Amino acid sequence: MTESSTAVAVLGTGIMGAAMARNLLAAGMEVRVWNRSREKAEPLAQDGATVAGSPAEAAEGAGFVLTMLPEAGTIEEVAGGEEGALSTLPDDGLWLQMSTVGIEGQERLAALADERDVAYVDAPVLGTKEPAEQGQLIVLASGPEEVRERCEPVFDAVGSKTLWLGPAGAGSRLKLVTNNWIVGLLGVLAETISLAEATGVDPARFLEVIEGGPLGLPYAQMKGKMMIEEDFPTSFALELARKDAGLVLDAAGAQGLRLTVAEAVAARFDEAINTGHGEEDMAAVYEAAKPGRG
């Protein structure tokens, strides 16, 4: 393998993509970055990344294209368009698709890779801003077994754990199952904090009661504190959580399954987004559940 073929083109440098790019650089890899809003990519030049003017420029001669963009339609355009990354990715290059795109979206992207004869790995991640910055994401990887070893240095740079789950698509399916758990947890936590406040209970006492025991979760402590303080610095935006909840509901609906809890929490997400909290952390779902909101 030539030296140039180990380069990683990171397409999408939002909260997650920028953190992943920095960890790849810290691991000693050559990194090219591209973002639709170039100003979000430019700070990475100070860390040693090359800022590309197009996806095709970023991918030219690279060994890996890593997509970390919000939804499948955008990724299709960025990867497969006229100036798309797959037009210049070398024959032995790998496409690491690490965004959350759902089952139908993943199938479309896999079909695009097949059409372009590009090796494709479906590898969404678990984690938000802080784990991404610390290189502590969990990678849910699925794809051809023969490329597994080549992917390991990239996955090891951005994550603390990689699960290799079989053929492409298995990663996205497990991500949806996990996201359903997160959606439900957020909704119940928001309503529990609200119930405490409405009945004269200090909600901090609730968090104290569950901390360290079988009912407690570090995640509940972190998001619960944000809800109590009504301070929502963005670790993972509410509008993206709503997108992920929609993907869960789409997957369930395709199987004739109704998830009433997920439906209810998605409706709460919508309420909070409609009152201006979409760009805040997903814990801002509390704003739709707090006393006085109905």
The DSSP secondary-structure symbol of 36 reads S
Catalytic-residue membership of 175: yes
CA dihedral 181, 103, 126, 269 (to 10 degrees): -50
pLDDT at 2: 43
d(CA 63, CA 221): 40
Is 173-289 in CATH node 3.40.50.720? no
CB 80 within 8 A of CB 69: no
pLDDT at 294: 54
Burial of 229 (0-12, 13-18, 19+ CB in 10 A): exposed
pLDDT at 292: 82
1: helix, coil or strand?
A: coil
CB 141 within 8 A of CB 121: yes
Burial of 132 (0-12, 13-18, 19+ CB in 10 A): buried
Question: Which one-letter amino acid corresponds to residue 252?
Answer: A
120 HSE (CA, 13 A, CB side):
24
Longest dimension (CA), the chain: 66
d(CA 56, CA 78): 9
For the chain, list residues with pLDDT below 50.
1-4
CA dihedral 82, 84, 88, 91 (to 10 degrees): -110
Model-wide pTM > 0.85: yes
Structure tokens at 204: 């901090």
Query: What are the backbone dihedrals phi and psi of residue 281, each rounded to the nearest 5 degrees, phi first?
Result: -60, 155
| Among 175, 223, 225, 243, the one annotated catalytic | 175
d(CA 207, CA 205): 5
The class that CATH gives domain 3-167 is alpha beta
- What are the extents of the domains in the chain? 3-167, 173-289
Structure tokens at 142: 């699925």
Structure tokens at 83: 């100036």
